Amino acid sequence: MARYQVILAYDGTHFVGFQRQSLSNGRQRSVQGEIEIALRRLGWQGSTLLAAGRTDTGVHAAGQVIAFDLEWKHSSDELRQALNAYLPVDVAAQSARLAEPGFHPRYDALARHYRYHLYCQASRDPLRERFAWRVWPAVELNVLQEVARLLIGQHDFKAFGAPLRPESSTVRTVQAAEWRRSGESGLSFDISANAFLYHMVRRLVFIQVQVGQGRLAVEDVRRGLETGNMPLPGMSPAHGLVLVDVVYPSQDG
């Protein structure tokens, strides 16, 4: 029996999120549920797999990390191939490798990196809207970049998200936050932190877009970080968000 670390990519459009739902919620489709079905076909006898995070309904991933114990007599790459043979088309194992026996993808992580995609256009674009939020009026990139710089460092983000448990801290350390232009009308927001509050990235994107459209001031965000209150709360749609990768100590590449 060995512990394996697998990096997953998935299109979150038709999932209720990563986490398997309770039976009381009916047979709702989750990423975890699909992975566990595939693992059982490979002889896995565990009750639940471990994951770096629980992405919400509609959120995508390019670098979700899971771990599980499995009696496997072949190579790690053959495990990746076998998983993909049993997984549906909207989930894929990108890599598989042996991990330390006590490895935990959530608790051993140093940072998580998310990216949010949006584009500025007056009319709908069906070929883009599956993975990006359409906003109009257009936002000012230089203003977004100014707001993003405020987020870097250790702050109390209670105005921008909620802890999974009411008694938990809302202080998080953002290591990087940056907006970039992507194509003619697209923009992407990259943010890395030691951990994130529930809905934190989507709330941060929403507030920054409000500033970029002139509905809020940069000072409102600064005040929100200091006081824990925002004058215009809201949340950007899930379909623009991607979990890009998770960083671990001594991670190769």
Q: What is the pLDDT of residues 166-194, one digit of tens each?
A: 889 999 999 999 999 998 899 999 999 99
Asked if residue 131 has pLDDT above 60, the reply is yes
pLDDT at 21 over 80: no
pLDDT at 39: 98
Contact, 70 vs 21, CB < 8 A? no
The total of other beta-carbon atoms located within 10 Å of residue 153's CB is: 12
d(CA 112, CA 90): 22
Element (H, E) at 176: strand 171-182
Average pLDDT in the 67-82 region?
A: 97
At residue 253, the pLDDT reads 41
pLDDT at site 58 = 97
Give the mean pLDDT of the chain.
94
The three-state secondary structure class of 133 is: strand
Catalytic: 56? yes
Res 167: pLDDT: 84
pLDDT value at residue 146: 98
Pairing label, strands 2-10, 60-70: antiparallel
Supply the pTM of this predicted model: 0.94
Residue 129 tokens read as 């809207």
The domains found in the chain, sorted by start residue, are 2-98 (3.30.70.580), 111-247 (3.30.70.660)
pLDDT of residue 152: 98
Mean pLDDT over 231-243 rounds to 93
What pLDDT is recorded for position 230? 84
Considering the chain, what percentage of its residues have pLDDT values greater than 90? 89
Q: In the predicted model, what is the mean pLDDT of residues 84-95? A: 98
Confidence category of residue 231, pLDDT binned at 50, 70, 90: confident
Q: What is the pLDDT of residue 27?
A: 66
Q: Tell me, what's the pLDDT at 25?
A: 54
| pLDDT score of 106 more than 80 | yes
The mean pLDDT of 125-141, rounded to a whole number, is 96
Render pLDDT for 196-217 as a digit per residue (tens, 0 to 9): 999 999 999 999 999 999 999 9
Q: Phi and psi (nearest 5°) for 172?
A: -135, 155
> Minimal CA–CA distance to 92: which of 130, 58, 46, 61?
61
Candidate list 56, 190, 245, 252, residue with the active-site label: 56
Kindly tell me if the per-residue pLDDT of 165 is higher than 90.
no
pLDDT band, very low/low/confident/very high, at 35 (cuts 50, 70, 90): very high
Q: Is 119 helix (H, G, I), strand (E, B) or coil?
A: strand
- Position 24 pLDDT exceeds 50: no
Question: Phi/psi of residue 19, each to 5°?
Answer: -70, 135
In this structure, what token pair is assigned to residue 199?
Answer: 């809905």
